[in-house]
Each structure stands twice: as structure tokens, then as C-alpha cells.
Chains A and B, each alone.
Chain A
């Protein structure tokens, strides 16, 4: 009678990589892994993710990708293109069409030492998995009093600007940031996408990885050698003196556009990319607000009980004496995401951001 090895779920990645037990079974582990790219390259956001996923798969055979249509098709946004061909269908799984099943089985896989990276096809389809994410994934570490870690990443394309039908342009971040036990991040650039997906996979905590789908084809420079920032850091991406603009995901580009217009009008805006939605790194935000005295938080999500509300309240508490004006929020309206013909009206654009900037300056 042999004893079962204790499950390796709680050991850090480095150890796991060394302890990997034998080859993966199943078909399709075709071709040798090409060497990892180096240097700085310009590539679209989706390719940066693909490159990061490839690096993670190569780095540890405990890493698994799971999702609908991610294998042969390479994902509806092609983020996983070529990965099944390279690593086989036991490392890149086309799962049955059942979101709760994907997340639930990923939990079981993590219990026996795997590091699953799940793709939920669209933001609006995460809800069937909501129970497994909130009652199980978020709480099992706590329920086990630390005996079990769940190093699971759930990648979700989110946000609007792609003219899609219902359920394909949601911003559900608040449901997850409000759930203790989860970490939530959202890269806004290809460089961040490349590094943050790998850091999320390396984390021993469950990470909801929100990918701004409107940016999938946006190109940017990716430094393949040097990670710029830790996973849960925010960053000032544009310097300014009059108003601090804060946002995440696709909104960061919009904020930069608004800042450029504002500059031509004589207002100098500082822009902060939140990057990590839970936990929030308030350091750079507070540093900025203490210099500018004014802040606008912009988000696609409906404003009522949103992430922006939380950040605004905390900034007001921690930077009260520095504030010349109340922290303002620019959000999606508190309606279901409208039919695509109205998305331009619904989603905060540079004008809506600038309207808030004007209001902030009027105090």
C-alpha cells in the first residue's frame, strides 16, 4: 500500500518546476519549444499575452490552459493561437461548454498540483461560474486554513468599444474586487499584458485577469527582458500638475487622449494606470493627488457601487487636506450595457472625462 504524496499545491513555482513529475499524457505534444524571445519588440496586446502564456507553459509543466475554443481555434481573440499545437491537448485544453465546470474542475486540478489558467470567452459569460468563483475559488484557501493554495488565473476579455451584441461588452470587475480572497488585475498595454499574465500565473492566489478586449489589437513596445513593475503596482503614466486622472484597462488610453486635449487647452493632467484593481496600490495615486489637489476616476463600468467609488472614497479619506475639489467619477450609466449603436454615448470618452476635469477645476 503506497502512501499518496501530499499535494504540491502549496509550494512556490520554482520548486514546482523542479519537481515536475514526468511528461504530460495525451496527444498533440508536437514540436519542440522554440527559445523564448528577447529584446524589445512591438506587438499587439493579444500577441503579448500569447507570448507570456507560451513562456509560462514552457517554464512549468504544471501550467495548464483551459477554456472553450482555445485549443484548435486558438481562442476567439486568438490569444492562445498555436499553443495547443506546441504543447499538446493535455496542456491546452478545449473544455466542454460549461463555465462553472471549467472553474470547478480547475480547482480540482489545483488540488493535485496544477496551475490552471482559465479563459472565459467573454465577460458576460463569467456568471455561470460565479458560484464556483465566489463560494469556492475565493474561499477555499481560507476554508482550508492555509492548507490549500489555489494558483488559478481566470482570464476574461472585458469592456466595450467593439460594437458587439449583448453580454460581450461587460465590465464586471466590481463583483470580483468585492470578493475577499480574489486578486484582480487589468493590464492596459502590451508590455503590461506580457509581464502581468506571467506574474498572475506565478501568484499562489486566484487572480481574475481582466483583458481590455478593445485593446487586443493595439500595438505597443514589449520589453521581453525586464519586468518594469510588480503585479499589484499602479503607475503614473503621464506627468501633470492640475488634475490627476485615474483609470484601468482600456480607459487608460482614453485618459491619455483626454490629457492631450486638455494640454492644448492649457490644463496639465497627470494620468495614473491602476493596473491592479484588488489590491489597489494607492501610493502613486496619493502622491499625485497631493500635488494636483484634484482627481477624476474614469471607468466603463456602471458607477453605482463601482471600483471607482471605492478608490474615490479612499483617496478622499487619505488625501483630505490636499483636496481642492471632491474626487469625481466618470462612469458608465447605471443601465444594462446598451445595444451597440449606443455604446459611444454610454462609454466615457475623452469629452466625458474632460467635462469632469472642468468640473473639478471649477472648485
Chain B
């Protein structure tokens, strides 16, 4: 953690140390029953999730470098925070990502190719959040922090319609909204917390503090640890080692279940690190030191879980199988990306409005006539 600005961060909730050993911090005590209930299969599932997404993420970055995508925002380094929190959600929950939560959307059922299509310039969205296959996962929001208000509004709706607080966790719905340390400075995030507290929404604000907002360090965003802010709004707020998938899972699960039961909104700051660039347009060598990156590499989320799994007797065959699946997913992504078609020009007129609109109709017609007035195949 970058802690050179005069405040002493409390020890976050952590179960797995960076070296992969099982070393819960005091803050993790209350989560231990939940942790100890995790099966090998579940833990191996976490591992698989993280490895596969890292391979997908690397492939997507390569695809951008190969001219197949306009942009790729890598999730490299943040796999544990995302896998842990996503696996903590229940099927009926509502998920609001920002734009880097590739594994969260995947776990909820979204086809990663939908994210590829967004980054390739074929769509501004990519998937239908209201299609049950997509697990109530909302589309990416590129205006920083704007989604926190939408998530709060959904939470308010759940309160008004009594879709939470009945005491049945299998049915009560909750909202989790993801955002970053940079976005946390935006006014919308502040307002979202105001409204969430006021209406006591069943909501978890999940802040991935990856230490950097493009080139600006988190110490410029805040002079206090970010997890302290929640308390200011009247909501319980904790810090979690975001590179520990077990801690991320447990803390998020408890927070969501408390919120859905009517306990009001909660905030979690997941301390992690953006191992890659902000996006493929960025060059981190211009503003941060490689030794910082190296020091975080030693706290890699996948490595530490692997060590832990090995200590629990996971087999080589298992790890090999995960690698194979990761390669296959990456390869499949590459092939499917290269095969993507274009979109018809008329698409821009579709869905500007929900109801018919004369100006849209007029312009759609005009464009069709205009295109038809040229010789075939002229570029």
C-alpha cells in the first residue's frame, strides 16, 4: 500500500498472506466461520476464475496491439477482488460494474465477447442486463461514478417494492456497485452514498482501490483511507486485502447479506493494484516506478492462492487443466474477435428513443437515399 502520506492504515481484512499462507488478520476474525466453510472445490473454482480471466485479459490486450480492438482496460492484478466479490453475490442480486470488471460480468453469466464487441467499437453497451442469462449485470459505464447513483436508485426501488428485508436471503435482493479510487472523488459517488444512507438501500459500495487513476496516485484523491468515508455517511465500511480472494469473498458476502436483510448500505474498500496500464492507450512508465510494480507482483493474487491450494493438496493435474482451459479461452477469444462483422450504418438510428420519432425517421431515410446515390462499391 502506498502509505507515505501521514496516515496509518488499519490492517485490512485478510486471510491469505502474500506468501500464500493462511494468516488471518484481527479484522478477519468475524469472517472465519464463513472462510472455513469454503470447500476445496469452491477454492479451486476461485483459482480457475482468476487464471482464466487473466489469460483472457492478456489476450484482449494483445488483440488491441494487433489492431483488432480500439482499446482494452486490463483487469490484470485485480482478479481476487473481483472474483471474491462476484462469487459472494446471490443470483437475484443486481450488479453494477464500472468498466474493468471483466471477471465479475463473466461470473454473472455475461459472454466476455460482449465486452470485446464494446471495445471493438461495435456497440456502446454489449449485453442486455434484463436477459436472465446475464444475471442482472448492468453494462459498463464509462462516465466515472455515474453508475453508483443508478445502483442506489435500484436499491431504493427494492426498498419501495419490499424486495428485500423479508428475512429470506434466497429471495431478498441486494445491489453491488463497483467503482475505483479515482471515481471515488466524483460528486455522483458522494450523492449516491447520501441517497443510499437516506433510504437505507440494500447495497454494497465496492471500491477497488488499485492505487492509480491513470497517472494520479490515490493519495491525491484522498488524505484519509478511502474506507473511512463510508462511516461519514452512516454506513459500515471496511478495508479488505483485494489481492486475497478469500477475504474479498467473505467480506462481500457478509456485507451483501446484511444489506439485503435490511441493515442498510455498506462500503468495502478492496486494496489492490492495477498491474497493467489504465488502458492500452496509457504508458505507466511515464509516472510510476517499476520497483513499485515489482513489489506488488510479489503480492499477486493468483500466486498466493496457488501456494495455498498446493498446501491443501491440489494436484498438478488440476493446475494443468486450469492452464489448458485458460489457453483455450484466450484462443477462442482471439478467433472469435477476428471473425467479428461490422454493423450496418442504420444501426445508429435504432433505439435513440423507445417510441417513434419523426426526426430520426427522416434522417434514417435520408441516409439510405444518400448511400444509394453512389456507385456500387465506391469507398
Query: A residues touching B (Cβ–Cβ < 8 Å)?
Result: 1-4, 6-7, 9-10, 21-22, 24-26, 64, 90, 95-96, 98, 100-101, 103-114, 128, 131-132, 135-136, 139, 141-151, 180-181, 183, 203-205, 279
8 Å CB interface, B251-291 against A: none
Query: B residues touching A (Cβ–Cβ < 8 Å)?
Result: 90-92, 94, 123-125, 128-132, 136, 138-139, 141, 143, 146, 148-162, 170-171, 173, 187-188, 191-192, 194-195, 198, 350-355, 357-359
A182 to B132, CA, bound (A): 28
A148 to B158, CA, bound (A): 18
Return the chain A residue nearest B157 by Cβ: A112
On whether A205 and B123 interact (CB within 8 A), knowing A104-B146, A136-B146, the answer reads: no
Return the chain A residue nearest B146 by Cβ: A136
Q: Are A108 and B149 in contact (CB under 8 A)?
A: yes
A337 to B223, CA, bound (A): 40
A148 to B128, CA, bound (A): 8
Say how far A226's CB is from chain B's closest CB, in angstroms: 22
Return the chain A residue nearest B361 by Cβ: A279
Return the chain B residue nearest A139 by Cβ: B124
Q: Are B160 and A105 in contact (CB under 8 A)?
A: no
On whether A181 and B125 interact (CB within 8 A), knowing A26-B160, A112-B158, the answer reads: no
Q: Are A104 and B150 in contact (CB under 8 A)?
A: yes
| Listed A/B pairs (26) with beta-carbon separation below 8 Å | A6-B130, A25-B162, A26-B160, A95-B198, A101-B194, A103-B149, A104-B146, A104-B188, A105-B150, A105-B192, A107-B149, A109-B160, A111-B153, A111-B157, A113-B157, A136-B146, A141-B351, A141-B352, A142-B124, A145-B351, A146-B350, A147-B129, A149-B354, A180-B352, A183-B353, A205-B353
Q: Are A108 and B157 in contact (CB under 8 A)?
A: yes
Return the chain B residue nearest A281 by Cβ: B358
Tell me which residues across on chain A come within 8 A of B171, comparing CB atoms: 2
Q: Are B125 and A106 in contact (CB under 8 A)?
A: no
Say how far B30's CB is from chain A's closest CB, in angstroms: 26
**Of the residues B123, B125, B149, contact of A105 by C-beta under 8 Å:** B149
**Of the residues B91, B92, B191, B359, contact of A96 by C-beta under 8 Å:** B191
Tell me which residues across on chain A come within 8 A of B143, comparing CB atoms: 131, 135-136
Tell me which residues across on chain B come within 8 A of A64, comparing CB atoms: 160
Return the chain A residue nearest B149 by Cβ: A104
Tell me which residues across on chain A come within 8 A of B130, comparing CB atoms: 6-7, 9-10, 147-148
Tell me which residues across on chain A come within 8 A of B357, comparing CB atoms: 279
Say how far B296's CB is from chain A's closest CB, in angstroms: 33
Tell me which residues across on chain B come within 8 A of A113, comparing CB atoms: 157, 161
Q: Are B352 and A143 in contact (CB under 8 A)?
A: no
Return the chain A residue nearest B359 by Cβ: A279
A361 to B263, CA, bound (A): 71
Tell me which residues across on chain A come within 8 A of B92, comparing CB atoms: 1-4
**Of the residues A1, A25, A98, A203, contact of B194 by C-beta under 8 Å:** A98
Return the chain A residue nearest B124 by Cβ: A143
Q: Are A181 and B353 in contact (CB under 8 A)?
A: yes
A357 to B114, CA, bound (A): 57
Say how far A360's CB is from chain B's closest CB, in angstroms: 27
How many contacts A-B (CB < 8 Å)?
168
Q: Are A6 and B132 in contact (CB under 8 A)?
A: yes
Q: Are A142 and B352 in contact (CB under 8 A)?
A: yes
Say how far A72's CB is from chain B's closest CB, in angstroms: 15
A150 to B352, CA, bound (A): 11
Q: Are A21 and B352 in contact (CB under 8 A)?
A: no
On whether A132 and B161 interact (CB within 8 A), knowing A141-B353, A141-B354, A180-B352, the answer reads: no
Return the chain B residue nearest A183 by Cβ: B353
Q: Are B170 and A1 in contact (CB under 8 A)?
A: yes
A6-B130, A147-B128 are known contacts; what are 9 more A-B pairs with Cβ within 8 Å?
A: A3-B91, A24-B160, A95-B195, A96-B198, A101-B188, A104-B191, A112-B157, A112-B158, A147-B129
Say how far B222's CB is from chain A's closest CB, in angstroms: 20
Tell me which residues across on chain B come within 8 A of A141, comparing CB atoms: 351-354
Tell me which residues across on chain B come within 8 A of A148, comparing CB atoms: 129-130
Say how far A181's CB is from chain B's closest CB, in angstroms: 6
**Of the residues A4, A114, A180, contact of B173 by C-beta under 8 Å:** A4
Say how far A322's CB is from chain B's closest CB, in angstroms: 20
Tell me which residues across on chain B come within 8 A of A105, comparing CB atoms: 149-150, 152-153, 156, 192, 195
Say how far B203's CB is from chain A's closest CB, in angstroms: 10
Q: Are B149 and A101 in contact (CB under 8 A)?
A: yes
Q: Are B161 and A108 in contact (CB under 8 A)?
A: no
Say how far A183's CB is from chain B's closest CB, in angstroms: 7
Tell me which residues across on chain A come within 8 A of B159, comparing CB atoms: 25
**Of the residues B150, B187, B192, B358, contact of A136 by C-beta under 8 Å:** B150
A217 to B136, CA, bound (A): 46
Tell me which residues across on chain A come within 8 A of B173, comparing CB atoms: 4
Q: Are B353 and A112 in contact (CB under 8 A)?
A: no
Q: Are A108 and B154 in contact (CB under 8 A)?
A: yes
A57 to B325, CA, bound (A): 54
Tell me which residues across on chain A come within 8 A of B152, comparing CB atoms: 101, 104-105, 108
Tell me which residues across on chain B come within 8 A of A2, comparing CB atoms: 91-92, 170-171
Tell me which residues across on chain A come within 8 A of B150, comparing CB atoms: 104-105, 107-108, 111, 136
A64 to B188, CA, bound (A): 21
Say how far B305's CB is from chain A's closest CB, in angstroms: 26
Q: Are B353 and A100 in contact (CB under 8 A)?
A: no
Q: Are B350 and A112 in contact (CB under 8 A)?
A: no
Return the chain B residue nearest A6 by Cβ: B130
Say how far B177's CB is from chain A's closest CB, in angstroms: 10
Q: Are B351 and A142 in contact (CB under 8 A)?
A: yes
Tell me which residues across on chain B come within 8 A of A142, comparing CB atoms: 124, 351-352
Say how far B87's CB is from chain A's closest CB, in angstroms: 14
Tell me which residues across on chain B come within 8 A of A10, comparing CB atoms: 130, 354
Tell me which residues across on chain B come within 8 A of A24, comparing CB atoms: 160-161
Return the chain A residue nearest B134 by Cβ: A147
A149 to B353, CA, bound (A): 8
Say how far B124's CB is from chain A's closest CB, in angstroms: 5
Tell me which residues across on chain A come within 8 A of B123, comparing CB atoms: 145
Tell me which residues across on chain B come within 8 A of A103, comparing CB atoms: 149
Say how far B98's CB is from chain A's closest CB, in angstroms: 14
Say how far A303's CB is from chain B's closest CB, in angstroms: 22
A104 to B147, CA, bound (A): 8
Q: Are A109 and B157 in contact (CB under 8 A)?
A: yes
Return the chain A residue nearest B153 by Cβ: A108
A132 to B150, CA, bound (A): 10
A10 to B131, CA, bound (A): 12
Tell me which residues across on chain B come within 8 A of A4, comparing CB atoms: 91-92, 94, 132, 136, 173
